[in-house]
């Protein structure tokens, strides 16, 4: 059985740092909506081009006993921020088209998003704004 690789706070932080981002992360438990809720971690990575990715694993998934043991995070939610506000990517990319959040992203998808955001020239936003595409 080929299971997705679990993501942890450390593994996501390492992915962002290896791409050249400055990273802050935290993990733990939060109480909200008058009932305790668990979340596993969140990490924010700021790239040299000024774009930021906010990666959140809101809850743990439990695998069935015959699959594996323990709690895991196979999927995360990723938000793109530019100039301190939520943003879409310019047209022509596989991610953040018509939305500022990608949900249910696995590790391979996260790697692709990080590569895409890291390599983006911020002047493309201005160009597409001038042409009316953004």
Q: What are 115-130's pLDDT values in tens digits?
A: 999 988 888 888 877 8
Between 29 and 35, whose confidence is greater?
A: 29
| pLDDT of the residue at 71 | 55
What percentage of the chain carries pLDDT values higher than 70?
75
Higher pLDDT, 16 or 59: 16
At 62 the pLDDT is: 55
> Cα–chain-centroid distance for residue 72?
16
Contact criterion met (CB below 8 Å) for 134 and 123: no
Identify the residue whose tokens are 């938000």. 79
CB contact at 8 A, 91 and 97: yes
Element (H, E) at 126: helix 123-131
pLDDT tens track for 45-72: 999 999 999 998 876 555 555 555 555 5
- pLDDT at residue 65 in the model: 53
Question: What's the mean pLDDT when you consider all of the chain?
Answer: 79
Q: Where are the domains of the chain?
A: 9-131
Which neighbouring-strand residues pair with 62? 71
Q: Which residues pair with 56 in a beta bridge?
A: 42, 77
pTM of the entire predicted model = 0.78
Query: Mean pLDDT across the stretch 61-87?
Result: 71
């Amino acid at each position: 059985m080929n299971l997705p690789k679990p993501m942890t706070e450390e593994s996501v932080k390492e992915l962002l740092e290896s791409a050249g981002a400055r990273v802050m992360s935290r993990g733990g438990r939060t109480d909200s909506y008058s009932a305790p809720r668990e979340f596993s971690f969140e990490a924010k990575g700021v790239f040299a081009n000024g774009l930021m990715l906010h990666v959140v694993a809101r809850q743990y998934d439990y695998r069935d006993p015959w699959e594996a043991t323990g709690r895991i995070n196979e999927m995360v939610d990723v938000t793109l921020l530019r100039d301190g506000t939520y943003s879409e990517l310019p047209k022509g990319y596989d991610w953040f088209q018509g939305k500022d959040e990608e949900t249910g992203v696995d590790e391979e998808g996260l790697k692709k998003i990080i590569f895409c955001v890291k390599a983006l020239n911020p002047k493309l936003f201005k160009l597409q704004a001038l042409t009316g595409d953004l």
